[in-house]
Amino acid sequence: MESFPLSVTVNDQRVRASVPADRTLLRFLRDDLGLTGAKEGCAEGECGACTVLLDGAPVCSCLTLAVQAAGRAVTTIEGLADEQGRLHPVQQAFIDAGAIQCGFCTPGMILTATALLADGPAADPAEVRAALAGNLCRCTGYAKIVDAVARKAAAR
């Protein structure tokens, strides 16, 4: 298969690579860059475990081709903490609310919540639930996740 040059910013670092045309962003991040926070759950864009931010918007990296990210900014869960290793406020909110169980869905949930809160405060639990609708969790029942995001939004 033919490979294409790719220049993309991942977690504030410029990355240049050559990728096959059919390489998904998920496979590029995990296999080529070793960023394993995004998970492959369903490979159909239904579970949200592979969610990353593309120019600040949540996308399913299992459905996005790596070449579609050319010239754009990708943020993974590994890129949320600051340079001193301090957790992003949304990450800390999930910990404080006990919103993490097995952790499989957590990166996608946190990135989706981060995008929601970047658009402005959304303290309404119904709005939080709607934003997180594309992220499935089999452990928590969502109550603590919604609470974490709503509390973070209200604190802004």
The tens digit of pLDDT for each residue in 27-66 reads 999 999 999 999 999 999 999 999 999 999 999 999 999 9
- pLDDT score at 3: 93
Count of Cβ atoms closer than 10 Å to residue 13 Cβ: 10
Q: CA dist 76 to 37, 62, 122, 125, Å?
A: 7, 13, 22, 25
CA 121-105-143 angle, 5° bins: 55
- pLDDT score at 152: 86
Q: What are the tens digits of pLDDT across the range 94-153?
A: 999 999 989 999 999 999 999 999 977 666 888 899 999 999 998 878 999 999 998 888
Residue 109 in contact with residue 137, Cβ under 8 Å? yes
- pLDDT score at 153: 84
Domains of the chain, with CATH numbers? Answer: 3-79 (3.10.20.30), 89-154 (1.10.150.120)
